[in-house]
Chain A
Amino acid sequence: MIDPEKEMESYLSRFRRKVPPPGFKEQLLGRVEERRKLEQVITPAILKIAVACLALIVIFLGANFFINRTEERYLSAFLDINQAIESGVVKEALPSLLADVPELAGLEKSLQILKRRSQEKDETRKQKIEEYLNLLNMKEEYNGS
């Protein structure tokens, strides 16, 4: 007895799909290409303009930042005492200032003492850490790990 499924399969295998009319492919792909071109929001020309605009904006912002920074430095030198100290004006003028105002010498001395003490403290802390690390090494050697 013939398997009905196989029978139907062999019956259907006699049929094939019809080939589309000639030129169908070219027509279809041509229309697809046309629609794609219409769909493209960013055409190459627009892309070039956008890139040029972006470059101009970057140049403008860079120049603006540079000009602002220089201007700010000049203005601060006029208005801000910290800026004046940083720029070295105070350091240059300090010996003549100390000669004119002797009271400032005491103040400078105490500042120097404070600075020295803080340096000493830092060094002591460093030494303590080194000692601790040495002890740790000794312990590891003793344990053999």
Chain B
Amino acid sequence: MNKVSKSQMKLDELYDRYGEKLYHYLTIRLASADDAEDVLQEVFLRLARYSIRWKFIRNEEPYVFRLARNEANRFLKRKHQNQINPENAPALARVIHDSLVIDCPDRSDKESLSLALARLPEEQRQVIVLKFFEELTLKEIAAVCGLSLNTVASRYRYGLSKLKSLLEAKDD
């Protein structure tokens, strides 16, 4: 088996393990499915370039997510937009709405959650998205964001309580 097919196999494996999660994370982070696709492509290109480093990486998942996060930040910087503009919350809410599936067929629930998530501060939204939809532990999220576990835990708690209050305000 030659080197190229080996690296292709590795990329295939990596996609099966993290591809969908990364795509979803990037879609919400960049508020655009098209941009997420472009950035995901960059991420996999980087993974292919760094194939030699793979044997030295202990925790694959945080590494891959950190790579995606950095790539997303670079993309936003190129667009001169480090954060998602709060005024674009409805557009982000639409993107979140389209990227989620709900187990029970209550559409209003999904809409209100999408809107509430879009209104959360960026750093809290990131933690909640990574925890619930990409199924990372708080420790892994800390490694992805380059933060301490305490900071991530407090962002998670504040995020949940803010989300709750936003959802309740919507109900009222």
Contacts and interface: CB of A to CB of B under 8 A. Distances in A.
Pair from one complex: yes
Interface of A: 4-5, 7-9, 11-20, 24-25, 28-29, 31-33, 35-36, 39
Nearest to B110: A15
A36 B157 contact: no
Nearest to A7: B164
A17 B100 contact: yes
A66 B133 CA distance: 71
Contacts of B99: 17-18
Given A9-B160, A14-B103, A36 B48 contact: yes
Contacts of A31: 41
B103 to A, nearest CB: 5
Contacts of B49: 36
A4 B161 contact: yes
A33 B4 CA distance: 9
A29 to B, nearest CB: 6
Contacts of A29: 8, 11-12, 15, 44
A26 to B, nearest CB: 10
Nearest to A12: B132
Interface string B7-35: 01001100110011101100000000000
B114 to A, nearest CB: 9
B71 to A, nearest CB: 13
Contacts of A32: 11, 41, 44-45, 48
Size bracket, chain B contacts: 35 or more
Nearest to A17: B24
Main secondary structure of the interface of A (DSSP, over half): helix
B128 interface: yes
A8 B16 CA distance: 29
Interface string B116-151: 000000000000100011100000000000000000
B61 interface: no
A100 to B, nearest CB: 76
A31 B42 CA distance: 10
Nearest to B47: A32
Contacts of B20: 17, 19-20
Contacts of A11: 167
B45 A36 contact: yes
B122 to A, nearest CB: 18
A7 B168 CA distance: 13
Contacts of B115: none
A15 B132 contact: yes
Contacts of B98: 18
B113 A15 contact: yes
Nearest to A6: B160
29 contacts: A4-B160, A4-B164, A5-B157, A7-B164, A8-B163, A9-B132, A11-B167, A13-B132, A14-B102, A14-B103, A14-B104, A14-B109, A15-B132, A16-B100, A16-B101, A17-B20, A17-B24, A17-B99, A18-B100, A18-B101, A20-B19, A28-B44, A29-B8, A29-B12, A29-B15, A32-B11, A32-B48, A33-B8, A39-B45
